[in-house]
A and B are shown apart, each in its own frame.
Chain A
Amino acid sequence: MTRTRPADPSTNRSKSTGGGGGTTVMRVIVPLQGVVQGRGGLVLGSLIPCALFYFLQLYLKRHRSNPNPPTPPPSPESESEQAGQLVELPVLPRSLSRALLSPRGAGGPVYVSGRANSVLKGGESPYDVGLRKVAEDPYDELGNQNGVIQLGLDENKLSLDLVGDWLVDNAKDAILGGDELGISGIVCYQPLDGLMELKVAVAGFMSQVMGKSVFFDPSQIVLTAGATPAIEILSFCLADSGNAFLVPAPYYPGLDRDVKWRTGVEIIPVPCRSADKFNLSITALDRAFNQAKKRGLKVRGIIISNPSNPVGSLYSRESLYNLLDFAREKNIHIISNEIFSGSMHGSEEFVSMAEIVESEDLDRNRVHIVYGLSKDLSLPGFRAGAIYSYNKNVLAAAKKLTRFSSISSPSQRLLISMLSDTKFIRKFIDTSRERLRAMYLKFVTGLNQLGIECTKSNGGFSCWADMSGLIRSYSEKGEFELWDRLLNVAKLNVTPGSSCHCIEPGWFRFCFTTLTEKDIPVVMERIRKISETCKSHS
């Protein structure tokens, strides 16, 4: 072994001031002899860690909010030779005595957190701008004929009259009666993950909506204040900050917020193409997975929406099996958002992920279903969402996290009676589907007459329209221009494909369920004017 003790600093100084490089080399002790033995060990074992350490220190120094004054070096006369070292800085005494700072004056603005800033920085996406414009100047057949027509919000107003009638007849009994607890049943603290009666009722409703053969176990349900927090809680539970989910694109614009904002999780879009009718291909999924791995990202799961939002297509039984196989192969989770499963207007049959998982003895721990009453019961204002999971740990954690997203008890009581009124529910589902189908057909026919084709869709409140023939440049810019004209000239708020991370430009989502039948000609007329100006220009 060489010497392992550092040289005495005084001799060190005297020699280094007088001597050249050679003496310095002699005196230096090899710190890493063991590592240096092997080939390449010198570089890998010592230079790299030292360099890393150096940069780490630099980094830490930068990020100190209030840097301490540098301690004066012990031997300025020798060290000053070293180039680039500023040692002559006058050392300021720290002046933190309270008298020196003018209290109640300017102390500089107080900082908010970096993550709050990133929430704010995102600015307004076209999706937000559109919603804001509608809120500012909503169309009204009588009161405001030049207002903006809402086609950007997933909300079903077609069957609200049924809900309204039911409320008028039953609200009081639902909230106050029915339970021997009386008032304490609604005003006192209740389990934050939802009342057991409501879980039972929601499980029954889900079975009814998703096909009778599927059974949902109430004990696997966690209720949240809307599907939005349900997705966020799953994102918290399944992935750590810096991990990622694969999401087939186009996808619902709000998903970026729900999954990413507070959790630090990333979304990797898996592009689907019009040539495949925007169906997911496992090859594309696999490619995205491998690319993410190469970038060093850990993929923790896949998030699908079935029926898909915005396209409205369904996953076939076969593709669900393939997805499960893929998830098993990579040992990742699947979140299946089935919030539109009761809002079907096509002829195809909806297959829930629950049915696939139940029918065979698959390992279920990786499957999580998101549901809610906002769409299928047209009650978004009630904020009732659900996580249905087969994973005990996820359920246990999610139950505790509902302290941040619980449903208020009067709404829970009301929903319990509404869902238990089987006669009403059956009538509601039938009527709602019928009206949805009629509206969908009318709207799509209207678009077709203008030469705008939609993808074949079976569920949901929107149609996914191909307007690439109307955009001037085949790019996101062209799409954005058309969206802007639709919003500001034609006064129609639609969602552009780019907001949904669609890879092909020129696609738009039209939510038609906030309209009445009388509105359709108005919408079509407005689109026609725009398409004519587009055509006359080109």
Chain B
Amino acid sequence: MRLIVPLQGVVQGRGGLILGSLIPCALYYCLQLYLKRRRPSKPDPPSPSQSSSNLAELPRTLSRSSLSTRGSMGRVRISSRVSWVAKPNDSPYYIGLDRASEDPYDRVDNPDGVIQLGLSENRLCLDLIEKWVSANLMESIVGTEGGHFSISGIAAYQPFDGMTELKVAMASFMSQIMGRSVSFDPSQIVLTSGATPAVEILSFCLADHGNAFLVPTPYYPGFDRDMRWRTGVELIPVHCRSTDNFTLNITVLDQAYSQARKRGVKVQGVLISNPSNPVGNLLSREMLCSLLDFAQEKNIHIISDEIFAGSMYGSEEFVSMAEIVDSEDFEKSRVHIIYGLSKDLSIPGFRVGVLYSYNESVLAAAKKLTRFSPISSLTQRLIISMLSDTRFIQEYLQINKKRVKDLYDLFVAGLQQLGINCAKSSAGLYCWADMSGLIRSYGEKGELELWDKLLNTAKINVTPGSACHCIEPGWFRCCFTTLTPEDVPVVIDRIRKVTETIKSSS
């Protein structure tokens, strides 16, 4: 009876043998193996492993002379969390963007170049911006003539989370965009260098490493980088389908939530984009209310990305999450809104983003984190006067809306002539086109084949649905606002050629 029972208590129950002893022992063994592997190769003691007590202690040879100084040594490693960030892009979204910027189409200089339909950038109203900037640049930076010019207002340190004047101007601009009935409080605004860092800062503030957000698909491909890269947060896709015109369904959301919980993943919030990117549809008032109910029930956050709120071309009315939260008696501290001037004012190069939150802790933390993503004060001054010029803003919004709508109609009509239908949409700088009739195999592979043909044969960079995590193959996002009306026939013609080769070969 010399054997000692190590695990008496655990073994008592049924299954205790395996669960209580084999598993931990196996785990422990694997852990040791793993640790051993990971150790930087240390020389093993030469003597056999038994009776190792009287090993001659080797003197450590770390004297600097014995190392070949200024020679070669093991390569120094970078951190494992960015080693995959450093790798070349593998998402078709980014591959396409790179291709289009390497060989951009130009009607005169490079007619065989790649036409950019993958970047949601609005170039339709650059003339208006240019006119305003050249008329008002010096005044906004340097001040009015005769007035006292203070260089410290631009050159010196400013609050990282944005100047108060800009917050005030931004709040009233947002009210104007999102419907007069909503009022935004400047003290709830944190300004960042673009909406991208605003999304990342929220991800840092609302979730810890290993937590997750639910995101209705298809969603903007950049979210994977913004929400996940440095934060270690997961995104759980909640699939929307073409039969529902890709609108969110609370039942599906609930299922995704429960599944995540079963996997042991803690869900910290829901991330929506409204107007949705890439589909361009809007979330209805009822849907926003049920989303808020859902978030309340699960006690989680809602991030509403409303960066396209001012880029409307449809007849439907946009309802901001802020309006719902203000009008009804919801608990506000779980609601956070993302906005920016890159889309609605078509100045992405200025890098101006907004984080609007009802949660004081989030605001306080976000303000501190803006030290990593501040806006240059020169740009802030410029935008303060631009947004304060109400006549210009009004005129701009009107003309912009008309131009976006005209181009949308032109582009969608062109696609329809080729038999390509788009999802019903009301906003955004893109349309969401159903090309499933053109793919050879109904799957992601077929979709990527078509995308490859469009990019390399037709020289059109569009974003495939799979890059947006769309569950149905064959959908593509086409951003049309980088085109001029004259470019549209060229694009349609290039697509026609591809569709013809596909139809003839099948």
Contact = CB atoms under 8 A, between A and B. Distances in A.
Contact of B372 (A12, A74, A228, A409): A228
A488 interface: no
19 contacts: A31-B22, A32-B6, A53-B28, A82-B9, A96-B297, A107-B331, A109-B333, A110-B331, A113-B268, A115-B208, A120-B368, A163-B155, A171-B138, A188-B126, A329-B64, A380-B155, A383-B377, A397-B83, A406-B351
A48 B28 contact: yes
Interface stretch (B193-201, B304-312, B456-464): B193-201
A401 B348 contact: no
Contact of B369 (A109, A157, A176, A262): A262
B249 interface: no
Interface string B91-121: 0000000000000000000000000000101
Nearest to B72: A363
B334 interface: yes
A18 B410 CA distance: 88
Interface in B373-390: 373-379, 382
Nearest to B302: A110
B70 A361 contact: yes
Nearest first, the 7 A-B pairs at minimum CB distance are: A53-B24, A49-B28, A164-B151, A381-B377, A409-B349, A183-B130, A31-B21
B204 A49 contact: no
Interface stretch (B12-20, B431-439, B496-504): B12-20
Interface residues of A, number: 122
- Most chain A beta-carbon neighbours within 10 Å: one of B17, B72, B293, B373: B373
A532 to B, nearest CB: 33
B130 A182 contact: yes
B194 A379 contact: no
B21 A408 contact: no
A333 interface: yes
Interface stretch (B74-82, B178-186, B236-244, B469-477): B74-82
Contacts of B211: 113
Contact of A65 (B266, B377, B379): B266
B364 interface: yes
B14 A120 contact: no
Given A107-B331, A114-B208, A411-B378, A50 B25 contact: yes
Contacts of A257: 368, 371
B62 interface: yes
Interface string B397-434: 00000000000000000000000000000000000000
A108 to B, nearest CB: 6
Contacts of A186: 133, 349-350
Nearest to B258: A96
A396 B380 CA distance: 30
Given A186-B349, A257-B371, A172 B376 contact: no
Interface stretch (A231-239, A272-280, A347-355, A432-440): A231-239
B123 interface: yes
A345 interface: no
A189 B120 CA distance: 10
Interface stretch (A97-105, A203-211, A214-222): A97-105
Interface in A132-172: 153, 155, 157, 160-161, 163-164, 167-168, 171-172
Interface of B: 1, 3-18, 20-25, 27-29, 62, 64, 67, 69-70, 72-76, 78-83, 85-87, 119, 121, 123, 126-127, 129-130, 133-134, 137-138, 141-142, 149, 151-152, 154-158, 193-194, 196-197, 200, 204-209, 211, 225-226, 229-230, 266, 268, 293, 296-297, 299-301, 328-331, 333-334, 346-352, 359, 361-362, 364-365, 368-369, 371-379, 382
Interface of A: 6, 9, 12, 16, 24-25, 28-32, 35-36, 42, 45-50, 52-54, 65, 74, 82, 96, 98, 101, 103-104, 106-117, 119-120, 153, 155, 157, 160-161, 163-164, 167-168, 171-172, 175-176, 182-190, 225-226, 228-229, 232, 236-241, 243, 254, 257-258, 261-263, 300, 325, 328-329, 331-333, 360-363, 365-366, 378-384, 391, 393-394, 396-397, 400-401, 403-411, 414
A187 B129 contact: yes
Contacts of A404: 193, 196-197, 200, 226, 230, 372-373
B376 A53 contact: no
B371 A228 contact: yes
Nearest to B233: A113
B205 A104 contact: no
B291 to A, nearest CB: 12
A119 B351 CA distance: 25
B121 A28 contact: no
Contacts of B205: 112-113, 115-116
B368 to A, nearest CB: 6
Contact of A31 (B25, B141, B266, B296): B25
Nearest to B5: A28
Contacts of B154: 167, 381-382
B396 to A, nearest CB: 12
Contacts of B9: 82
A388 B352 CA distance: 26
Contact of A50 (B10, B78, B142): B10
Contacts, number: 354
Given A53-B23, A237-B79, A167 B266 contact: no
Given A31-B17, A325-B64, A110 B78 contact: no
A222 B182 CA distance: 41
Given A188-B348, A258-B372, 17 more contacts: A25-B8, A50-B21, A54-B10, A107-B297, A112-B362, A115-B204, A120-B361, A176-B130, A187-B126, A238-B78, A332-B76, A365-B75, A381-B156, A401-B82, A401-B85, A403-B196, A403-B225
B27 A53 contact: yes
A155 B194 contact: no
Nearest to A334: B76
- Most chain A beta-carbon neighbours within 10 Å: one of B72, B193, B207, B299: B193
Contacts of A411: 376, 378-379
Nearest to A360: B70
A309 B146 CA distance: 40
Contacts of B193: 225, 383, 404-408
Contacts of A48: 28
Contacts of A410: 349-350, 376, 378-379, 382
Contact of B7 (A31, A188, A225): A31
A187 B349 contact: yes
A333 B211 CA distance: 31
A188 B349 contact: yes
A229 B123 contact: no
Given A32-B6, A411-B379, A167 B364 contact: no
